[in-house]
Chains A and B, each alone.
Chain A
Amino acid sequence: SQQGEEDPQALSIQEGENATMNCSYKTSINNLQWYRQNSGRGLVHLILIRSNEREKHSGRLRVTLDTSKKSSSLLITASRAADTASYFCATDPGGYNKLIFGAGTRLAVHP
């Protein structure tokens, strides 16, 4: 069974716009990670945020974590067509990288 849900399931935007994806989860966590998956490819790690952190940045990515609401968000600023992919949040309850993934958000960025 999967830990949580991403919202929205699908998102379609124009290049240059920002994309925001949300993730909710059910149990307490050690950390939460975001991964990207291009169609037919493996997952690529984007960013990890620990349970004692509230916000983290990496390039055009901004991740927030609200443990009281058991939710996280991923913001991609100034999106590009190359950002088109599925984005998954994954929780790590025990801190051992035994990840529990959500169902993902499919992002389409149109030129």
Chain B
Amino acid sequence: GAGVSQSPRYKVAKRGQDVALRCDPISGHVSLFWYQQALGQGPEFLTYFQNEAQLDKSGLPSDRFFAERPEGSVSTLKIQRTQQEDSAVYLCASSLRSWGELAGGTGELFFGEGSRLTVL
């Protein structure tokens, strides 16, 4: 597609429910990032994929958070047993270059419009 597409744009979940957020990166983009943005704050890194490999998941806040990108294109961020503190906008970003090629800061990230999760 022309840009990074995320769905759903808005999700309301009851505390304890599981949610799945989808990201369609720009076709051919090797790198995919997930960020979490709390209200009034800047995004915070969650995890990084290079193709289907999850190379960095150091930002995932707990083991309730799980991300996958099985075929190296579409990615899903899953949150199990949601809590109120999980309420945030979840942003996906992709980049044409791989992590190794990104060394030296050669590429920009293209962000989707985010999925806003509200946990009641």
Q: Contact residues of A with B, CB < 8 Å?
A: 2, 30-31, 33, 35, 40-45, 48, 50, 88, 90, 92, 94-104
A97-B105 in contact given A43-B43, A43-B91 (Cβ < 8 Å): yes
Q: In the docked arrangement, what's the CA distance between A90 and B4, Å?
A: 20
Given A103-B42, A104-B41, 16 more pairs with CB closer than 8 A: A2-B42, A2-B44, A30-B104, A30-B105, A33-B108, A35-B111, A40-B113, A44-B111, A45-B108, A45-B109, A50-B105, A88-B42, A96-B99, A100-B45, A101-B35, A102-B42
List the B side residues contacting A35 at CB < 8 Å: 111
List the A side residues contacting B25 at CB < 8 Å: none
**Contact between A99 and B113 (Cβ–Cβ < 8 Å)?**
no
List the A side residues contacting B42 at CB < 8 Å: 2, 88, 90, 101-104
**Contact between A42 and B103 (Cβ–Cβ < 8 Å)?**
no
List the A side residues contacting B4 at CB < 8 Å: 42
Q: In the docked arrangement, what's the CA distance between A107 and B35, Å?
A: 23
List the B side residues contacting A48 at CB < 8 Å: 105, 108
B80 vs chain A, min Cβ distance (A): 24
A35 vs chain B, min Cβ distance (A): 8
25 contacts between A and B (CB under 8 A): A2-B44, A33-B108, A40-B116, A41-B113, A41-B114, A42-B4, A42-B91, A42-B111, A42-B112, A43-B43, A43-B109, A45-B108, A45-B110, A48-B108, A50-B105, A90-B42, A95-B102, A97-B31, A97-B33, A98-B56, A99-B45, A100-B45, A101-B42, A102-B42, A104-B42
